[in-house]
Amino acid sequence: MKNFLLITILSLFNICFIFAQKRTEIPLNENWKFSKGNFGNAYQINYDDSGWQNVSLPNTWNNLDGQDGGTYYRGPGWYRKSFSIPAILNSKIIFIRFGAANMIADVYLNGKFIGEHKGGYAAFIFDITKFVNFGTKNTIAVKVDNTGPKNSKEFNLAPLDADYTMDGGLFRKVKLIAANNVHISLTDYASPGIFITQKNVSEKHADIFLVTKLRNDSNKKKKIILKSSIYDRSGKIVNSKSKNIFIDPNSGSDYSQNFTIDSPHLWDGRIDPYLYKVVVSIYDHNRLCDEVTQPLGLRYFRVDPDKGFFLNGKPYKLHGFCLHEDKKNEGRAISNSDRKEEMNYMLDIGATIVRLAHYQHGQEMYRLCDKNGIVVWTEIPLVNHIDTSSSFAKNCEQQLKELIRQNYNHPSILFWGIFNELGNVKGPNPVSLVKKLNELAKNEDSTRYTTAAANYSDIPAAFVTDVLGLNKYFGWYNGKSQELGTYLDKWHNEHPNRAIGLSEYGAGASIYQHEDNPKQPRTDGPWHPEEYQTDFHEIVWKEIEARPYIWFSTLWNGFDFASDSRREGFQPGINDKGIITQDHATKKDAYYWYKVNWNPAPMIHITDKRYTRRDTSLINVKVYSNADEAALFINGASIGKIKSEDHRFIWNSVQLKAGENYIKAVAQINGKEFSDECWWKY
């Protein structure tokens, strides 16, 4: 009993000690009450929410109706939750941080209005100290509204519209943060409060400029110690500096420190994604007040209009796919486990870049890209067309600042995206706004490129950013797949000093629809055979690969995703251009085509495995492999060995017997045998 009491006392002492130290984070993701609709008094403390739905965060109310091809609910929804904050924290500054809320969020605490955030994809934070009850019950109420601009001028925000479902809700996590009076700023557009700028990076040395935003919310002038340290992967300090600082009461200031690292270990993409970490600590009379850790990946890069992308002085091929935050039956309320699953697909296929479309994504995805060496293009949701009001422009500026400041320190991010397909919908001339946003991005961060994705490449807005991506769908929405190369060559010759890449290209496909020698289908029709998508990507990738001036390519899309207005393909409500199904479970054949081209790991794959019922006895069999030679067997009988220089092995006019047929492909790679098999019925 004595031992138990001693352990309890020590535990309480440790808890008190922790609370007295640097900031404390308290998750607020479980046991929320939710209801769709406009409840005018739902912010009140004693409002009866007993009949509301029980939910956990992340949550969206459009996870089902936003993917069924009908209409989906766009309007207000309310979230309520009760929680307590330990009395021991009553000397702290209390913040609440939302990972995102689409599109407008009004936050109330204990019946009082806290603040409003407009914009659906960035984090936001409020100081709630003066509204908090310590040691007893608190009630938070959040009204989230995704009504959209068609029904309310209040929603005159980017995006005005887009080809994806505008899921409403609290679709990222929420947490409380308890900080000491003197702390690293939390309210600078919800940024981490420290900004790491790297310059003059080479294999010999790197200069690092560190800015820390400090805040003193006490009524006294404070003398503190600011200590910043850079650690290598093993945890060894490679550089550290401290300085004494005086901060006036109830004020904030920026403080800079400069570092040099000799012979730095560079962040080299997929080859070697080496990360340092920067730890910034502040001390008040040798007592740790606050501490923030951020990643540091040292790299230098450039884009050449003729030769493409260079990382750390060497040519580096950027190829991958675009990505939405979406999963079947989850909508935009995906989990970090889902993000890790998506990253595993990127690594498996051999991607080197991801375009995070068409908005800021959750922090875990950027962290995973840092860790695994995936280069990132990330963008704001300025899509299709603009509005000329000053409020729209100011909100675009806000969303761009949030994107850059919240993600400034991620080494994987090399490109800030300003817009996607402006001009796709008739509207005002966007050039003036695009120029203003481009200038803002360069002022916020001069070390990275600005970019944009344009489907109309001759519009003036396409010539504002540093580099450009083209969204071109030859072979799907217009023309033939083979015409892509001719178009790109013409554009490159007319604009030789303009670096261009392919930010979107693709074709729809259903894993349930199959066709021999497929013809180009109607894009808005119900028939999208998988074989056409496969043929499309074989042709288009060869056009891209043959042109070194294409500085990057990201196919559209990594995964099928919800776009509820679509009425096409096997399933209404889905954009089916993914090379993986919306449930993230099935890789389409086009996936394996890119894997055999991008990932040097040995592989062999028989295409058309899902085409299990055949109407003709003579078929062509196609296999992907990075072997020099492959063999085919039908029902145990050898059909022969063939060679290939483009990873495609095709046996023409192969005879099937009536009934079930066992197909097996075999290849020798580096002295080991690899095989694949399937069954087809004639």
| Catalytic machinery residues | 421
Helices (H), 182-326: none
DSSP states along 544-607: HHT-TT---EEES-SS-EE-TT---SSSTTEE---SB-TTS--B-HHHHHHHHHH--S--EEES
Alpha carbon 422 to its chain's center: 21
Radius of gyration of the chain (CA): 27
Task: Please identify which residue in the block is written with the tokens 């040395």.
Answer: 205
Tell me the three state secondary structure of residue 228.
strand
Q: At what angle do helices 483-494 and 530-545 cross, to 10 degrees?
A: 30
Asked whether the beta carbons of 123 and 98 are under 8 A apart, the reply is: yes
> Rounded to whole angstroms, how far apart are CA atoms 585 and 514?
19
> Rounded to whole angstroms, how far apart are CA atoms 440 and 400?
8
Residue 436's nearest CA partner among 383, 406, 398, 385 is 398
Residue 351's nearest CA partner among 559, 585, 628 is 559
Tell me the three state secondary structure of residue 369.
helix
Bridge partners of residue 465, in order along the sequence: none
> Rounded to whole angstroms, how far apart are CA atoms 466 and 449?
6
> Rounded to whole angstroms, how far apart are CA atoms 144 and 166?
13
Question: What distances in angstroms separate CA 478 from CA 420, 472, 484, one per listed residue?
Answer: 19, 9, 10
In what helix (H) or strand (E) does residue 643 lie, and over which residues does it extend?
strand 637-643
Work out the number of other CB atoms within 10 angstroms of the CB of residue 432. Answer: 13
